[in-house]
Structure 1
Amino acid sequence: MNEDRKKIWALTIYIVGIFIIGSLICPLLWNIIHSSPLQNIDSIGKASFGKVCNRAFMLVAFIGLWPLSKQLNCTRKDDFGLAIPRKKFWKEFGSGFLLGAITLLCLSLFFYFIELRTLKSGPVIPRLLKSVQKGIITGVAVGLIEEIFFRGILTRALSRISPLISAILISSTVYAAVHFIRGDSSTDYAIIHWYSGFTYLKSAFSLYSDPRFIGSFLTLVTVGIFLAWLTLKRGNIALCAGIHAGWVCIIKGTSHATRTDKESPYYYLVGNYDKFTGYAAFIWLSIICLCTWFYLEKKQRKGA
């Protein structure tokens, strides 16, 4: 039990540390950028303070991942959900990617046909090609990183110190909750103080004040439960990382190519997180997750 408490404390310190240390290094990172040749790079030098803060939090989270893994005794490939031959990993990842992309593309097209989302102005073909490229790159990166942490490490670590259902529900709730801790990346200040990171952090919880977050929150909890179950069921993250990547690919690609019509009578179907997840996504992905679950269970029984 004492060892279990240490792991819980390690997770708590890690999460709190991201916010505190991240807030402290935001001004430092800002000053480094604007007092070095980095300021001459447009994508970096012209970034707002809010965007720099977001990167600072991500940097701290990444650096702290290895110490956290050691505290949780998660230092082997199996502890990250990666105990699977490389060729088989990418084969399952690819299958999952297609499943995720196709299922969410259906929802994206639905939004387009009911005119909830409309194409942005400009040449259509180049924008669509750019959207596909952006979606694939972002999808693969997010799918792998988030699955390694939330399902490979967090869910599996919790499953060793708590009942399986509790591990799945806790990790899925945490997964959903952190997505809504996000400030406006365009936030900028005339003068940067040592405490400016904390000022920005205070605004990062504003999404919770809007009731429209509920639909998106339900969507993320649902897919979190499904992906956690899938990881524990299969013993690795290959398939669920692919599905996750496919979903993100379509969301990012759709967001790049289209805009949400706030005047649409169907605007209530999307939440305030990414203007894509919401009540419609919650219902549709719940159906997809249940169908996939029944299919895999049936397939396993036939193979037994």
Structure 2
Amino acid sequence: MSFATRAKGFLAAEGAGHAARLTALFFGYLFVALLLAAALTYPLIQTGWLDYEPRRVMGRLAQLFILLGLWPFLRLMGLAHRQALGVAPTRARLVRAIGGGWLLGIGILGALVSLELMLGVRVPDVEQLQVPSLLEKAVAALIGGLLIGLLEETFFRGALYSAIRRRATVAAAAAGSALLYALVHFLKPHALPPGVAFDWAGTWSMFLQVFAGLFQWQHLDSLLALFSAGVFLALVRERSGHIGWCIGLHAGWVFVIQLTRRATDGDETASLAFLAGHYDGVIGWLAAFWIALLAWGYWRISAWRANRRARVTPNPGPG
């Protein structure tokens, strides 16, 4: 084995270790926010100020702590600047990218949902197919998608991707950010089991159940679909140099998923129902394959275009 080969292998291993450490650190930040939320859920509900389910209170508190601590955390990591967060381009350029990404995201998942409808995996909900109701749902899905896209892309494809990419390869940064992105979707508080009292013991039981979804085999398909989506978004971030397209794509996907869940129903008796997944009835094995194929095609085509531009660009030479 040549020295160059050994050096390349060492650098790859070092980059993978760097990606693993930073992914664990970002996970630790989210874990601390959830831990603080669990510690405050019971005493806050005991005050009588809130009349919501404990799981909803815990979830909202966790989101609040994540937002409150995000900027200090980014400053500590040296990521509190526009370049690291992927928002360095001008506002006009970002807005155009978000708009283009949104339309592209609708096209990508719109094709997936259309195929699921053709296969009978999902069926229209006739009662929900009324114009006023659909418009209301569409507006809510649009706003929700943009907010989710902005927050999640800033965290995952902005801060986390930049942190890993400083000392690691595209593959390590894409895999690390995509893995945490996929896992976080299953870290959600659940309702207490019947017969379990809501007290301190019940609160911590609910906290531990947050991690139970990670170990359920029926979520494997959706986990892989979300991982594929995270890799795709990371590759878009790498090629474009910012997260504008990522925000738009993410928002478009959320828009389609939310509208699909409100205007259609999953048919669990269909022979191909397993293709849609258990997480939300939309993203499963079919989505994992479709988005992975798009990610592969995008990377190959964008690499070809970059090489082509490099060949046709004249070299000015010295002087």
- The answer on 1:26 being equivalent to 2:31 is no
**Which residue number corresponds to residue 193 of structure 1?**
199
Letter in structure 2 aligned against 1:18: A
**In structure 2, distance between residues paired with 1:286 and 1:205:** 26
SS in structure 1 of the partner of residue 265 of structure 2: strand
Q: Of 173, 183, 188, which residue of structure 1 is paired with 2:189?
A: 183
Q: Shift in Å at residue 236 of structure 1?
A: 0.9
SS in structure 2 of the partner of residue 184 of structure 1: coil
SS in structure 1 of the partner of residue 166 of structure 2: helix
Residue deviations 1:23-71 (CA, integer Å, cap 9, x gap) = 1122234345x33xxx5xxxxx3x3211111111111211121121011
- The answer on 1:158 being equivalent to 2:173 is no
Residue deviations 1:259-298 (CA, integer Å, cap 9, x gap) = 2111111111122221111101011112222333334334
Q: Of 123, 131, 142, which residue of structure 2 is paired with 1:118?
A: 123
**In structure 2, distance between residues paired with 1:223 and 1:272:** 17
Greater gyration radius: 2
Q: Of 225, 240, 262, which residue of structure 2 is paired with 1:256?
A: 262
Structure 1 residues without counterparts, runs of 5 or longer: 40-44
Q: Shift in Å at residue 152 of structure 1?
A: 0.3
**Which residue number corresponds to residue 138 of structure 1?**
144
**Which residue number corresponds to residue 96 of structure 2?**
91
Size of the alignment, in residue pairs?
292
Q: Shift in Å at residue 110 of structure 1?
A: 1.6
**Which residue number corresponds to residue 222 of structure 2?**
216
Residue deviations 1:216-243 (CA, integer Å, cap 9, x gap) = 1111111111211221222210111111
**Which residue number corresponds to residue 298 of structure 2?**
292
**Which residue number corresponds to residue 106 of structure 2?**
101
Residue deviations 1:125-178 (CA, integer Å, cap 9, x gap) = 233223322221111111111100001001111122444422221121111111
**In structure 2, distance between residues paired with 1:92 and 1:12:** 29
**Which residue number corresponds to residue 77 of structure 2?**
72
SS in structure 2 of the partner of residue 122 of structure 1: helix
Q: What is the TM-score when the length of structure 1 is the normalising length?
A: 0.86
Structure 2 residues without counterparts, runs of 5 or longer: 1-13, 311-319
**Which residue number corresponds to residue 313 of structure 2?**
none
Q: Shift in Å at residue 21 of structure 1?
A: 1.0
**In structure 2, distance between residues paired with 1:141 and 1:84:** 20
Letter in structure 1 aligned against 2:96: K
- The answer on 1:277 being equivalent to 2:283 is yes
Q: What is the TM-score when the length of structure 2 is the normalising length?
A: 0.82
- Do the aligned residues in 1 keep the contact of 2:267 with 2:273 (CA within 8 Å)? yes
Letter in structure 1 aligned against 2:65: V
Shift in alpha-carbon separation, 1:186–1:200, aligned structure 2, 3 A: closer
**In structure 2, distance between residues paired with 1:188 and 1:53:** 18
**Which residue number corresponds to residue 11 of structure 1?**
26
Residue deviations 1:67-87 (CA, integer Å, cap 9, x gap) = 210111111111211101001
- The answer on 1:53 being equivalent to 2:62 is no
**In structure 1, distance between residues paired with 2:261 and 2:23:** 37
- Do the aligned residues in 1 keep the contact of 2:121 with 2:276 (CA within 8 Å)? no
Q: Shift in Å at residue 197 of structure 1?
A: 3.2
Q: Of 266, 273, 279, which residue of structure 2 is paired with 1:267?
A: 273
- Do the aligned residues in 1 keep the contact of 2:196 with 2:202 (CA within 8 Å)? no
**In structure 2, distance between residues paired with 1:14 and 1:165:** 23
> What's the C-alpha RMSD, in Å, of the aligned pairs?
2.6
